[in-house]
């Protein structure tokens, strides 16, 4: 697969603007075989600390498991706004992530980030796309993530169904989180993800939501932090984003066990049968 090395991390805001302007008319069945790479990515410790505080992680030089995804988000976005990319980025739904940390990552280590997209697959609500992200220190693969996105459209009722998330335990919650209306704007400042569906009710309504929603990657990071420090070392997590979290709102954290690891999830405070996120975490030590 051809690899293109960028001169640095691109700015996300202009990329999202370009995605909106070029959304109409995208089509095709083939995803270009292309890897985008950015070398010598340095972590801004002040920005990392702000991210850690907002997501409930301890402030330290150890990089939380979801943070390389935040670093690589501009690279992934640059890949998906290229003129030959067949899907429109606006309106795409983030369905799930599988993430593996191979060893603890230190904020002082320069990273090489790569992003590439897989093939399109039929889904009952449109088509899905897999995106692969990797982070290396030198030649060492230290982190990897496989994300699945849904491009909504004409569905395929006979499409294979993906693996369903495990059921969350019933009973009282382990915690109750009250999410303020400005959470999306706070997370955008520390992550760089300025997608308008997260920023304000008016910009979210323009894109089909009744009001703005929390970043899925914030809900993932915050839930992972609630499980302790296990994800900072060799570990794998899988997260399913099952329903958006509208802002402001109150959600419940529930905890349990799954096979050889941990299980966590977020559910609606006023309707516990409605889940927003399901997460599993397994140690690889």
Taking the domains of the chain in order of start, what are their residue ranges?
Answer: 3-283
Residue 232: pLDDT over 90? yes
Which is higher by pLDDT, 207 or 87? 87
Confidence of residue 133 (pLDDT cuts 50, 70, 90): very high
Rounded CA-CA distance 131/81 in Å is 14
- CA terminus-to-terminus distance, the chain: 32
DSSP string covering 163-219:
PPPPPPP-SS-SEEEEE-TTHHHHHHHHH----GGGT-HHHHHTTT-SS-B--HHHH
Angle ∠(44,98,71) on CA atoms, nearest 5: 15
Confidence of residue 285 (pLDDT cuts 50, 70, 90): confident
| Global pTM value | 0.93
Widest CA span in the chain: 51
For domain 3-283, the CATH class is: alpha beta
Alpha helices in 22-132 (DSSP H): 45-55, 67-80
Residue 123: pLDDT over 80? no
Confidence of residue 212 (pLDDT cuts 50, 70, 90): very high
Ramachandran angles phi, psi of 53, nearest 5°: -65, -40
Average of per-residue pLDDT across 66-89: 94
Q: Cis peptide leading into 95, omega within 30 of 0?
A: no
CB 3 within 8 A of CB 39: no
Rounded CA-CA distance 250/271 in Å is 11
């Amino acid at each position: 697969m051809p690899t293109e090395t960028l001169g640095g991390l691109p700015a996300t805001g202009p990329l999202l603007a370009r995605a909106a302007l070029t959304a109409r008319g995208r089509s095709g069945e083939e995803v270009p075989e292309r890897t985008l790479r950015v070398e010598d990515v340095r972590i801004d410790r002040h920005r990392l600390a702000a991210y850690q505080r907002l997501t409930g992680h301890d402030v330290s030089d150890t990089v939380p498991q979801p943070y390389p995804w935040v670093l690589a988000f501009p690279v992934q976005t640059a890949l998906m706004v290229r003129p030959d990319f067949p899907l429109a980025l606006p309106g795409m739904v983030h369905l799930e992530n599988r993430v593996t940390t191979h060893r603890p990552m230190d904020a002082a280590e320069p990273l090489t980030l790569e992003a590439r997209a897989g093939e399109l697959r039929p889904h009952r609500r449109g088509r899905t796309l897999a995106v692969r992200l990797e982070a290396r220190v030198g030649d060492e693969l230290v982190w990897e993530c496989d994300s699945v996105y849904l491009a909504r459209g004409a569905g395929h009722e006979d499409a294979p169904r993906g693996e369903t998330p495990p059921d969350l335990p019933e009973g009282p919650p382990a915690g109750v989180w009250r999410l303020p209306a400005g959470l999306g704007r706070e997370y955008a400042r520390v992550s760089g993800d300025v997608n308008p569906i997260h920023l304000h009710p008016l910009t979210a309504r323009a894109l089909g939501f009744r009001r703005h929603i929390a970043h899925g990657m914030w809900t993932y990071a915050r839930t992972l932090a609630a499980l302790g420090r296990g994800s900072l070392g060799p570990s794998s997590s899988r997260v399913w984003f099952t329903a958006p979290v509208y802002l402001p709102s109150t959600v419940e954290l529930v905890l349990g066990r799954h096979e050889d690891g941990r299980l966590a999830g977020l559910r609606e405070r006023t309707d516990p049968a409605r889940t927003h996120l399901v997460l599993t975490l397994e140690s690889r030590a």
